[in-house]
Amino acid sequence: QKEVEQNSGPLSVPEGAIASLNCTYSDRGSQSFFWYRQYSGKSPELIMFIYSNGDKEDGRFTAQLNKASQYVSLLIRDSQPSDSATYLCAVNFGNEKLTFGTGTRLTIIP
Amino acid sequence: GAVVSQHPSWVICKSGTSVKIECRSLDFQATTMFWYRQFPKQSLMLMATSNEGSKATYEQGVEKDKFLINHASLTLSTLTVTSAHPEDSSFYICSARRFTEAFFGQGTRLTVV
């Protein structure tokens, strides 16, 4: 069974600090990795995707992928209260489908 | 990013009735769309993969006769919850692939009373 695991949290981070969200996955053959943000009662919105080992930066967000360790993370710099949400990690295991983790609830404390 | 529109955003129906949810890709053609269900405080669970012009592929444990999926065009997929029961109350979300990215509709909150 192909699985995606995340710490459900809640993770509390002071405003202005760096929030670090982690995700592990079960299949070494996984090809693409996605981070989604979901506000309560809303559908997920794509933040970033990453395919290659290393870091990918987009504004305050950095995705980090380590395929050898089967680990993908999302860093949020200069955290803002509006970043408070549930963050979903999703993995494409080589078919068309995305498998989602259970999500990490992040709270930014003003 | 690409826009996926889902309608209605919420619906309340009586037990035993059917409800249709529409998912449209507004600015791109989607040969494949996905339908998810999300219960409170849980992650998205894939229900089925909707393929334009062919039958949907359902995940294990999802009743295809209860959750009817039609993908009649490259921009529209519909999910019909037939003979709805209170346990079908959930947040239903569609997504459409554009190249390698998946974009989500706004979701439909279904409440069966």
Angstrom distance (rounded) from CA B37 to CA A88: 15
Q: What pLDDT, on a 0 to 100 scale, did the predictor assign at position B52?
A: 85
The Cα B110–Cα B14 span in angstroms is: 11
What is the per-residue pLDDT across B46-97, written as a single tens digit (0 to 9) for each? 999 998 888 899 999 999 999 999 988 889 999 999 999 999 999 999 999 8
The tens digit of pLDDT for each residue in A4-37 reads 999 888 999 999 999 999 999 998 888 899 999 9
Mutation to test the B interface, candidates A7, A43, A102, most B Cβ within 10 Å: A43
Distance from chain centroid for Cα A86: 9
> Which positions in chain A touch B109 (Cβ < 8 Å)?
41
pLDDT of residue B1: 62
Instruction: Indicate the residue of B43, B102, B106 with minimum beta-carbon distance to A102.
Output: B43
Q: What is the pLDDT of residue A93?
A: 82
Q: What are the residues facing A64 on neighbouring strands?
A: A55, A73
B 64-93 → A contacts, CB under 8 A = 91, 93
- Pairwise CA distance, residues A8 & A23, whole Å: 10
Residue of chain B with shortest Cα separation from A32: B100
A103: closest CA of chain B, how far (Å):
6
pLDDT tens digit sequence for A48-78: 999 999 999 999 999 999 999 999 999 999 9
Residue of B nearest to A33 (CA): B101
Whether A1 shows a pLDDT value over 80: the answer reads no
